[in-house]
Amino acid sequence: MSGLLYEDVVPGLPQITAGLYRLLTTTEFYVNLKVTAGEILAASLIGGLTGMIAGLSLGGSYFMERAFERYFYYLGPTPKIIFFPLMIMWFGVGSGSKVAMGAVSCFFPVALAVAAGMRRIPPILIRVGESFRANRWQMLTKVHLPAMREPVVNGFRLGFGVALIGVLLAETKLSNQGLGFLVIQNYQRFDMPGMYALLIAIFVIAVAVNAALGRLSRGGRRR
């Protein structure tokens, strides 16, 4: 494919392979990987937990569903990068704004997935829990969460993906560390093999994490 295009823009496979080797043998990559991984993990936890709470409220309350769920569908597809200037003002130019960007991106798919999962719980399971006089916490941990494990995990898979995109995009806009910063730095240097090597590494990491979450979902189905 690269032979059909300008080689300085789309380098050949040998150049990309050499760039990938250089990338994986430098400490710079691992230092910046640690920064980005920490930001994505924090964003996924914050966005995922708040999204789960919101989803439980939407799925468990007819009033909440009627009053607020439409706004989740309106805001969910909105490009979150438009909120980045606000996040810089609120959290500064450091990692806080990148975590906030990823958390907001993660929040909506998790909330909507959990709300949908709540509505798919078989009524008989709820009646069984009530017949044993389970309190609210027991209903949540023993009935609701096990019954909607698959949609919750799928929501977290999607949430992780958009959190990763949000963090990397924020790093390309305003940062001096992280994988997004390295991508834009290589682009500005016109180091195309290095840039493509970074993109491949990011893609492989994202696929590996997504596959791990997928195994978690399938494991729940087998049990």
- Per-residue pLDDT tens digits for 124-167: 887 887 787 777 787 777 887 788 888 888 888 899 999 999 99
Spatial separation of the C-alpha atoms in residues 171 and 208, rounded to whole Å? 22
Spatial separation of the C-alpha atoms in residues 51 and 115, rounded to whole Å? 9
Residue 209, in any domain of the structure: yes
CB 60 within 8 A of CB 120: no
Task: Report the length, in residues, of the chain.
Answer: 223
Residue 171, in any domain of the structure: yes
For residue 124, the one-letter residue type is I
Spatial separation of the C-alpha atoms in residues 63 and 61, rounded to whole Å? 5
The predicted model gives 48-75 an average pLDDT of 86
The predicted model gives 99-112 an average pLDDT of 93
* Domains identified in the chain, total number: 1
First to last CA, the chain: 45
Residue 108, in any domain of the structure: yes
Residue 218, in any domain of the structure: yes
pLDDT in tens, 68-92: 888 888 888 888 888 888 898 999 8
CB 149 within 8 A of CB 219: no
Dig out the tokens for 93 from the structure: 């130019």
pLDDT of residue 219: 58
The residue among 50 and 71 whose pLDDT is bigger is 50
CATH of the domain at 166: 1.10.3720.10
Residue 42, in any domain of the structure: yes
Domain interval for residue 70: 8-222
pLDDT of residue 15: 87
Residue 3, in any domain of the structure: no
Residue 2, in any domain of the structure: no
Spatial separation of the C-alpha atoms in residues 164 and 169, rounded to whole Å? 8
pLDDT of residue 70: 87
Residue 1, in any domain of the structure: no
